[in-house]
Structure 1
Amino acid sequence: MKTRYLLFILILSVLSLFLVLKFYLTPESVTEIDKRDKTDTVIPLFQEANLPIGKVIIDPGHGGKEWGAVGWKSEVPEKEINLAIATYAKDYLENNHVEVAMTRYLDEMMDDKDLNADLTARAQFAEKIAADLFVSIHSDQFDKEIEGTRIFYSDKNPKVKESQILGEVIFDELISKLGSKPLGVKEENYRVLDQNTVPSVLIEVGFLSHPEEEMKLVDPAYQKKAGEAIAMGIIKYLKTNQRK
Structure 2
Amino acid sequence: NSIYQYFNLTPPKEQYVVVLDPGHGGYNPGNGMYNMGAIGLNGIYESEVVLDISLKVADILRSNGVTVQLTRTREKDKSNPYDLEDRLRLAENFKPNFLLSIHANSFTSSTANGVETYWRTSQSKWFATTVHNAYLKQVQLRDRGVKQDTTLFILKGQSYPSAMIEVGFITNPEDYALLSTPEGRTKAAQGIAKGILQFMGIDVKPLDH
Given the two structures, how large is their TM-score scaled by the length of structure 2?
0.80
Identity of aligned residues (%): 29
Does residue 1:80 correspond to 2:48, yes or no? Answer: yes
Larger radius of gyration: 1
Counting helix residues as a fraction of each chain, which structure ranks higher? 1
Does residue 1:137 correspond to 2:99, yes or no? Answer: no
Structure 1 residue aligned with 2:40? 71
Q: CA RMSD in A?
A: 1.9
Q: State how far apart, in whole Å, the 2-side matches of 1:57 and 1:78 are.
A: 19
Structure 1 residue aligned with 2:6? none
Q: How many residue pairs were aligned?
A: 181
Does residue 1:148 correspond to 2:114, yes or no? Answer: yes
Give runs of ≥4 in structure 1 deviating > 4 Å. 109-112
Structure 1 position 126, deviation (Å):
3.3
Structure 2 residue aligned with 1:21? none
Matching of residues 197-208 of structure 1 within 5 Å: 197-208=159-170
Q: State how far apart, in whole Å, the 1-side matches of 2:91 and 2:46 are.
A: 23
Q: Which stretch of structure 1 is more off in the superposition, 178-187 or 122-131? A: 122-131
Structure 1 position 215, deviation (Å):
2.3
Q: State how far apart, in whole Å, the 2-side matches of 1:169 and 1:109 are.
A: 34
Matching of residues 34-113 of structure 1 within 5 Å: 52=14, 54-64=16-26, 65-72=34-41, 74-107=42-75, 108=77
Q: Mind listing any 5+ residue stretches in structure 1 that lack a counterpart? A: 1-49, 155-159
Structure 2 residue aligned with 1:190? 152
Structure 2 residue aligned with 1:172? 133
Given the two structures, how large is their TM-score scaled by the length of structure 1?
0.69
Preserved CA contact (<8 Å) 1:63 1:109: no
Structure 1 position 51, deviation (Å):
5.9
Counting strand residues as a fraction of each chain, which structure ranks higher? 2
Structure 1 position 216, deviation (Å):
1.7
Q: Mind listing any 5+ residue stretches in structure 2 that lack a counterpart? A: 1-11, 27-33, 203-209
